[in-house]
Amino acid sequence: MGQRYVLPDLAYDHGALEPHISGRVLELHHGKHHAGYVKNANEVLEQLDEARRARDFARIAALERGLAFNLSGHVLHSIFWQNMMPKGGGRPTGELATALERDFGDFDAFKKQMNAVASTIMGSGWAALVWEPIGQRLLLTQIYDHQSNLAQSGVPLLVLDAWEHAYYLQYENRKAEFFEAVWNVWNWADVAERFASARKVNVRLKRAAA
Ligand SMILES: [Fe+2]
């Protein structure tokens, strides 16, 4: 077995993103919800290990579903916390800004599309800006729960949690206000670093013969 998954510390205090995200929401979101995904992902790995030892794969489908859900929840929340910072917001600069303009037209269109992706999720999910390394382009994608609907090989750069647990205690049913508020706390330097890192991914698909 490799390493166990660990809940990462936040780089800021629970109240540091107020008024956009309340301290209590962040405390519960990180300390209860995210922590739960980490705990469950580790438990599923143990159950998979037990199943292999017993050569008993009767529950393999449920275990694989559980692993995909909880591990993806851990990954997306870990990115989400780093995507945000106190006194963030504004606009990206440099190559990220150029790529956003190339692939979405302009920043305002990108923002509107991302919020439309978030607000039209049926049930629980995420809006995510991803780098798609085959076509070498930025895409927005709607993720159901934590794991479905994301094209394979897409690397998440900026993720917006649209689960009710992300906003309901503070914004109740006014989720559009929450999706607007997060634009005041985006950490564009973090997104730019992820962009630079993701562009090194080589999925090694062979080109189709002409
Ligand atoms: Fe969440």
Calculated CA dihedral for residues 35, 191, 3, 126, nearest 10 degrees: 40
Rounded to an integer, the average pLDDT of 50-64 is: 97
- For residue 192, what are its two tokens? 């730019």
Whole-number pLDDT of residue 56 = 97
**What distance in angstroms lies between residue 44's CA and the mean position of ligand 1's atoms?**
19
Rounded to an integer, the average pLDDT of 89-104 is: 98
**What distance in angstroms lies between residue 58's CA and the mean position of ligand 1's atoms?**
31
**What distance in angstroms lies between residue 108's CA and the mean position of ligand 1's atoms?**
25
Q: Please state, in angstroms and rounded to a whole number, the distance separating the CA atoms of residues 172 and 183.
A: 19
Q: Please state, in angstroms and rounded to a whole number, the distance separating the CA atoms of residues 77 and 22.
A: 17
Rounded to an integer, the average pLDDT of 28-43 is: 98
The closest alpha carbon to 140, from 110, 184, 161, belongs to 110
Whole-number pLDDT of residue 208 = 59
**What distance in angstroms lies between residue 24's CA and the mean position of ligand 1's atoms?**
14
pLDDT tens figures, 117-171: 999 999 999 999 999 999 999 999 999 999 999 889 999 999 999 999 999 999 9
Full-model pTM = 0.96
**What distance in angstroms lies between residue 91's CA and the mean position of ligand 1's atoms?**
24
Bridge partner residues of 125 (DSSP): 144
The closest alpha carbon to 195, from 142, 161, 158, 160, belongs to 158
User: Could you identify the residue written with the tokens 């109240």?
Assistant: 15
Ion ligand 1: residue ranges with CB closer than 5 A: 161, 163, 166
**What distance in angstroms lies between residue 174's CA and the mean position of ligand 1's atoms?**
17
**What distance in angstroms lies between residue 180's CA and the mean position of ligand 1's atoms?**
17
Rounded to an integer, the average pLDDT of 23-28 is: 98
**What distance in angstroms lies between residue 56's CA and the mean position of ligand 1's atoms?**
33
**What distance in angstroms lies between residue 59's CA and the mean position of ligand 1's atoms?**
27
**What distance in angstroms lies between residue 111's CA and the mean position of ligand 1's atoms?**
20
User: DSSP letters of 153-189?
Assistant: T-EEEEEEE-SGGGTHHHHTT-HHHHHHHGGGTB-HH
pLDDT for residue 175 is more than 90: yes
**What distance in angstroms lies between residue 163's CA and the mean position of ligand 1's atoms?**
6
For the four alpha carbons of 136, 141, 143 and 146, in that order, the dihedral sign comes to positive
Rounded to an integer, the average pLDDT of 53-61 is: 97
Provide the H-helix boundaries in 84-156: 94-104, 107-119
In this prediction, residue 97 has a pLDDT band, given cuts at 50, 70 and 90, of very high
In this prediction, residue 206 has a pLDDT band, given cuts at 50, 70 and 90, of confident
Q: Please state, in angstroms and rounded to a whole number, the distance separating the CA atoms of residues 123 and 145.
A: 8
Cis, peptide link before residue 8, omega less than 30° from 0: no
